[in-house]
Amino acid sequence: MSTVIYAVLFSFLLSTITSLFLIPLFKKLNLGQSIKNGIPISHKKKAGTPTFGGIIFIFSSIITMLLLIKNYNKELLLIISSLIAFGLIGFIDDTLKKIHKKNEGLTSKGKMILLLFVSSIFAIYSYYDPSIGSIIMFPFTKKLFNLRILYIPFIIFYYVSTTNALNLTDGLDGLATSITLLVVTFFTFLSFGMGHYTLSISCGCIAGALLGFLRYNCYPAKIIMGDTGSLALGGAIATIAMILKNPFIVIIVGGIYVIEALSSLIQIVFFKLFGKRIFKMAPIHHSFELHGWHETKIVSVFSIITTILCLIGFLSI
């Protein structure tokens, strides 16, 4: 456990220092966020806030992992690969947004193709890896189920859903960072308790990096993680739960991700079918904004809910 603590502290310091260096650099390079139409008017003041912030905690996490973890096993390589691969998709999206001078990056179809491609690689690898295989656990039941060949399409869907859900959650200053910090902390303790020590240290590295980044991402944000960060985190969380053979636990501890994604899906389907909207705006955090909630209140309430969900997650094991 001492190594996990060192991992958290070192990645926190590295993330803080990297933030102090990169935020002014991103401002100088004019890597500011463009604000799209159709969101609460209060977000207009965020225009120009540096994006690409995911680079900070991706870099800090990986460097700390490589320095502190002596056993470069498959768990470490999977976590690093997921951060880089999914983060790269987000980086391409953020770069195109900057090139186009507006909040339009990859097309929905283009992003989905890339997510499906990368997710397929992880799904196929895990299926043929004997240490992971096609067996999954259902929370609360403690029973193992062998999905056999159905494991591959299931994991592909699982990766795409998790990355998109986290991407949708990243709509307020500090929201995705705070929620994911709690979720990754949960996995730090869970993986340690299950004997996955390399994975636990890796989770600690991500948690520390997010904690350092949160100082500059909380309201009013000095930097935004962008798709670079949200997709990388979504991919990492999906990978962590996959290694632990417990992908469904993300539905519990990441309940906020699920609510955010479902609110958007319900809004779209209901509008197409009936021409009306259920929520004032989706994802649901914007709806709370339009009901008069301040960003900091939404982040605080969602974080408290996530803390409770993480406690429930421990009870489900």
Compute the C-alpha angle 113/271/167, nearest 5°.
40
227 is known to lie in a ligand binding site: yes
Copy the structure tokens of residue 218: 């909380």
Calculate the CA dihedral of residues 58, 205, 181, 286 and round it to 10 degrees: 0
Q: Identify the H or E element spanning 145.
A: strand 143-146
93 is known to lie in a ligand binding site: no
Sort strands 135-138 and 143-146 into parallel, antiparallel or unpaired.
antiparallel
Helices (H), the chain: 2-28, 54-68, 74-100, 108-128, 151-169, 175-193, 197-217, 226-243, 249-253, 255-274, 284-290, 295-315
Determine the Cα–Cα distance for residues 184 and 241; give it in Å rounded to an integer. Answer: 10
Q: Are 278 and 267 in contact, with CB atoms under 8 Å apart? A: yes
Copy the structure tokens of residue 201: 């240290």
Which residues pair with residue 136 across a beta bridge?
145
Q: Are 210 and 225 in contact, with CB atoms under 8 Å apart? A: no
Which residues sit in the known binding site? 167, 227
Which residues sit in the known binding site for Mg(2+)? 167, 227
